[in-house]
Amino acid sequence: VRHDAIERAISSGKPAVTAPIWLVQDNKSRVGVLVLHPAYRQAEDRAGQATKPALIGFSVGVIKIDEMIQIAVRDKLPPGLEFHIEDRDVPAEQGSLFRSGTSEALPSGAYLWKTQLSVANRSWEMSVFPTAAFLHQQRSWSAWFAGIAGLLFASVLQILFLATTGRTFTVQRKVDEQTKEIRA
């Protein structure tokens, strides 16, 4: 058990979570954390007054992150969306708790959503983002329709402008011819 988590649990009197650890069980290698919850015994002095509770030990629980996520999500995450959970209290190379897909790096841009998760004494960051295939599949047809309608409208305006300009040219030429005839 990690010494820093024990010290935090003792000093705060509240549960503490360890940094990510590798669990090797069920013939799988997976990431997990240990949750340490201090257990106290309330004692009384000779006069029957309650004394300061005495620490008698810890209750320790193992949390398998992948199973916790599977229970929480229960196949409700649409295909093409991925999420990562990172422990920000440890160096980056040790902080990966969960990755739902194959993407190693987070994308940059407007499609990345992040939030902080507080788990006992630790801060985890959850990032959700779409894959390129998901974005391609979810194209906004209304945007395409608006773009095409705009192009068609611009084309109609251009045709009207050209027709008006051509007609004006024809009328001007006719006026010039008639003016020459009148002068002659």
Which residue type does 84 have? Answer: H
Q: Report the 3 state secondary structure along 119-182.
A: ECCEEEEEEEEECHHHHHHCCCHHHHHHHHHHHHHHHHHHHHHHHHHHHHHHHHHHHHHHHHHH
**CA separation, residue 4 to residues 8, 58, 121, 122 (Å):** 6, 14, 11, 12
Q: What is the pLDDT along the chain (184 residues), one digit of tens a residue?
A: 456 777 777 777 888 888 888 888 777 788 888 888 888 888 777 787 877 888 888 888 888 888 888 888 877 777 888 888 899 888 878 888 888 877 666 676 767 888 998 888 888 998 888 887 787 777 777 777 888 888 888 888 888 888 777 777 788 888 889 989 888 8
pLDDT of residue 2: 57
pLDDT of residue 1: 47
Distance between alpha carbon 165 and the CA centroid of its chain, in Å? 55
